[in-house]
Structure 1
Amino acid sequence: MPGKFVVSISCAKNDTDKATVGFVIANAAVASDKETVVFLSIEGTRLSQKGYSDDIHEAGFAPLKELMSAFAAAGGTIYVCSPCFKKRSLDENNLVDGAKIVGGAKLVEFMGEGAPSVSY
């Protein structure tokens, strides 16, 4: 079923369960033939950094690093909130596969035609 879908994730190691479930849902969406974007904001922007998620593994789920890699390999896109990213002094040369630093207007443009979304 074609269409668009957005998963917004605003947490990282401060709530690894939410971060993990967000990528589980994102993988389900991209596997359902949805053009899927994960929007990382606030603390979630830390997930954009290579190596950051390596030690996150919630019981009952695949490791977060694997979920993120599978999402990118399936064609999913990760939008990273530019002001949130800059506030945390993160490294734009250390982005995970599929990640792009964007302003809010890019997300609004993607969602402009009524894309459903969930937030974690």
Structure 2
Amino acid sequence: MPGKFVVSLTCAKNDTDKATVAFVVANAAVASDKKTLVFLSIEGTRLSQKGYADDIHEEGFAPLKDLMKSFVEAGGEIYVCSPCFKKRKLDENNLVPGAVIVGGAKLVEFMGEGAPSVSY
């Protein structure tokens, strides 16, 4: 099933259940041969930082750091909202593998051909 899929994630340690489920769904999408993007915005941008997700492990799921790693290794991309990132004064030199800081236009470009999306 070729095509695109977007998972928009606004949570991190403020709602670890949503953060975890977002990457579970993203992994399912990329495994279904979809060009898959996770868009981190608001508090979700914190997940772009190496080490931040290391202690997040919801019962019944793989640890979040493992879900993020497998997503990127499978070809998934992580876009990080630039204004949200800057507002939180995060470190551009500490990005997790696969993460790229982008403006909203880049997300619109990716979704421009009608990519389905879910939000957490």
Shorter-chain TM range is over 0.9
Deviation for aligned residue 1:102: 0.1
* Aligned amino acid, residue 111 of structure 1: M
Deviation for aligned residue 1:89: 0.3
* Aligned amino acid, residue 5 of structure 2: F
Q: State the partner residue of 2:109.
A: 109
**CA distance in structure 2 between the partners assigned to 1:17 and 1:110 by the alignment:** 26
Q: State the partner residue of 2:119.
A: 119
Q: State the partner residue of 2:25.
A: 25
Gapped regions of structure 1 (runs ≥ 5): none
Q: Report the number of matched residues.
A: 120
The share of aligned pairs that are identical, in percent, is 86
SS of aligned partner of 1:14:
coil
CA RMSD of aligned residues (A): 0.2
Deviating runs (4+, > 3 A) in structure 1?
A: none
Q: State the partner residue of 2:5.
A: 5
SS of aligned partner of 1:45:
helix
**CA distance in structure 2 between the partners assigned to 1:62 and 1:115 by the alignment:** 27
**CA distance in structure 2 between the partners assigned to 1:100 and 1:90 by the alignment:** 13
Q: State the partner residue of 2:50.
A: 50
Deviation for aligned residue 1:59: 0.2
Deviation for aligned residue 1:25: 0.1
**CA distance in structure 1 between the partners assigned to 2:49 and 2:73 by the alignment:** 17
Q: 1 or 2, which has the higher helix percentage?
A: 2
Gapped regions of structure 2 (runs ≥ 5): none
Deviation for aligned residue 1:46: 0.1
Deviation for aligned residue 1:17: 0.1
Matches within 5 A, 1:37-116: 37-116=37-116
**CA distance in structure 1 between the partners assigned to 2:66 and 2:7 by the alignment:** 17
